[in-house]
Amino acid sequence: MKNTVVSFRNSKEKGKKLSVVTGYDYTTARIIDETEVEAILVGDSLGMVCLGYDSTLSVTLEDIIHHGKAVMRGVDNTLVILDMPFMSYHNTTPEAVANAGRLIKETGAHAVKLEGGVDMVEKIKAIVKAQIPVMGHLGLTPQSVNVFGGFKVQGKSEEEAKQMIKDAKALEEAGVFAIVLECVPEKLAKIVSESVSVPTIGIGSGNVCDGQVLVIQDMLNMYGDFKPKFVKTFADVGKVMREGLEAYVREVRDGTFPAKEHTFGIKDEVLEKLY
């Protein structure tokens, strides 16, 4: 394995920026694995981009296991991190450990990620003690969408910003190997990144983080009109797919597809017996 939790964590002191993308299926995982992307996150964003829900709250442990297994079959060299879904770690610590254990045991993935700061320290410590590497997630934690009143930038007030710095330090102390910072103002993301020795992985938090993560359908422009400020289209795969599908329909309709080379033959002597 080229990319491990240990090489991932150590990238910060080497000053090497980390590139993470989400991935949810075998085909895509294989393509990602051929690149230098360091880690695939099987995010609970799969509820939105794969399953069509309008939040991540409905995603189940079984959903993450199902997609996590598919991703694992497609990778040789990429670190695979699984999101713990909403309510799989919010109740008791033993339940959180058991669910993290199921994710790792049933998929073979390398690490889990869960949302939250100081309040999650006890659970993170227990999961780490069970020998499961944990990634933290602060800022816009989408499982709290109903508390935030929408997908909104977090940490804008003095109180929220101070709390986020405390949360990051508490996560590091609890033993996380990295922290996602989602939709955090860039200057706060810089202070948070300088406050911890583990890498920060930003999404909508500026280039001051130690790495970046994007939802793959967003960066490849496959997820309709969803275009928050932090998304950049690196390739217009959505356009390429639509053009390919339209070309297919045209050729089916005018009979140019399938052509001779796509068609199987039968020996003439067999054919004669059919007439």
Ligand X SMILES: Nc1nc(=O)c2c([nH]1)NC[C@@H]1CN(c3ccc(C(=O)N[C@@H](CCC(=O)O)C(=O)O)cc3)CN21
Ligand Y SMILES: CC(C)C(=O)C(=O)O
- 133 near 177, Cβ under 8 Å? yes
Whether 243 has a binding-site annotation, put simply, is no
Compute the least distance from the CB of residue 153 to ligand X, in Å: 4
* Residue 8, H or E segment: helix 5-14
Interaction of residue 222 with ligand X, rule CB under 6 A: no
83 binds Mg ion (CB under 5 A): yes
Taking the complex as a whole, the smallest distance from the CB of residue 229 to ligand X amounts, in Å, to 4
Per-residue CA distances from 165 to 80, 101, 139, 188 (Å): 27, 29, 10, 8
Measured distance CA(49)–CA(44) in Å, rounded: 9
Considering only the stretches 2-10, 43-51, 121-129, 165-173, report the one whose residues sit in contact with ligand Y under the rule CB under 6 A. 43-51
And the tokens for 75? Answer: 């990778």
Q: Is 44 annotated as a binding residue?
A: yes
Q: Give the chain's largest Cα–Cα span.
A: 87
Residue number, 104 or 184, with CB nearest to ligand X: 184
Catalytically active residues, by annotation: 182
Q: Single out the segment in contact with Mg ion by CB under 5 A; choices: 15-23, 40-48, 84-92, 170-178.
A: 40-48
Q: Are the C-beta atoms of residues 121 and 111 closer than 8 Å to each other? A: no
Residue 44 is a binding residue for ligand Y (CB under 6 A): yes
Q: Which two tokens stand for residue 178?
A: 């990295």
Which are the contacts of 98, defined by CB distance < 8 A and separation ≥ 6?
A: none
DSSP assigned state of 232: -
Contacting residues for 27 by C-beta, under 8 A, at least 6 apart: 74
Residue 223 is a binding residue for ligand X (CB under 6 A): yes
Of 41, 40, 88, nearest to 61 by C-alpha is: 88
CB of 209 to ligand X, least distance (A): 15
Element (H, E) at 212: strand 211-214
Q: How far is the CB of 182 from Mg ion (least distance, A)?
A: 8
Residue nearer to ligand X on the CB measure, 45 or 212: 45
* Binding mask of the shown chain, residues 200 to 219, with x at each position contacting ligand X by CB under 6 A: ---------------x-xx-
Q: Which of residues 56-115 bind ligand X (CB under 6 A)?
A: 56
Residues that bind ligand X (CB under 6 A): 45, 48-49, 56, 140, 142, 151-153, 183, 215, 217-218, 223, 226, 228-230
Q: Which residues are annotated as a binding site?
A: 44-45, 83, 113, 115
Residues that bind ligand Y (CB under 6 A): 22, 41, 43-45, 83, 180, 182, 203, 213, 215
